[in-house]
Amino acid sequence: MEEKHIYIPNISCGHCISTIKRELSEIEGVRAVDGDPAAKIVTIQWNAPANWESILKTLDEIGYSPEEK
């Protein structure tokens, strides 16, 4: 299991977290997505076949790019 905590500046409320959860959960292998709207931090856990590149691509597509890549 891989895990990352990422800072996403575009997060402004719980709906943003819900959108990120919904979109990332569609990637096969993503196990858990959790976020804190106040801190703008999202925690993602995944196994293969998901990988960081596919997660990052989805985040970029939906407008929630992490600050550091």
Helix, strand, coil share (%) of the chain residues, nearest 5: 30, 30, 40
Q: Which of 1, 13, 38, 48 binds Cu ion (CB under 5 A)?
A: 13
User: Is residue 8 close enough to count as binding Cu ion by CB under 5 A?
Assistant: no
Within 1-69, residue ranges assigned H as helices are 14-25, 52-61
8 Å CB contact between 33 and 21: yes
- Of 39-58, which residues contact Cu ion (CB under 5 A)? none
Contact in structure between 32 and 66 (CB atoms under 8 Å)? no
Nearer to Cu ion, 29 or 37 (CB): 37
Span interacting with Cu ion, options 5-13, 25-33, 47-55, 61-69, rule CB under 5 A: 5-13
Decide: is 15 part of the binding site for Cu ion (CB under 5 A).
yes
Residues that bind Cu ion (CB under 5 A): 12-13, 15-16
